[in-house]
Amino acid sequence: MAVETVPVGPSTLISAITYDPEKLELIVRFQNGWVYAYQQVDLLTVKGFGVYESPGKFFNQAVKGQFEYERLE
């Protein structure tokens, strides 16, 4: 599988997310310009961004504090 950019709805927190299913790595680009890589994120979690009403609320509930991460930019 290739790296996939997952569309997110309008968000005041997140501008874009990208997912690499081979690495299980989720890249989140925030509206403030910061970029973080989250490790060992399963595809089901990533797909939640597409169905949840608020990408920012979903991130805060399902990703933040749940996965190891590093700041890229």
pLDDT average per 10 residues of sequence, the chain (73 residues): 70 90 94 95 89 88 96 92
Give the number of other CB atoms < 10 A from CB of residue 55: 24
pLDDT at 48: 87
- Position 28 scores a pLDDT of 95
CA dist 73 and 37 (Å) reads: 10
The pTM of this model reads 0.88
- Tell me the CA distances in angstroms from 10 to 13, 63, 70, one per residue in order: 9, 18, 24
Please classify residue 2 by burial: count the beta carbons closer than 10 Å to its beta carbon, then call 0-12 exposed, 13-18 middle and 19+ buried.
exposed
Q: Which two tokens stand for residue 20?
A: 């690499």
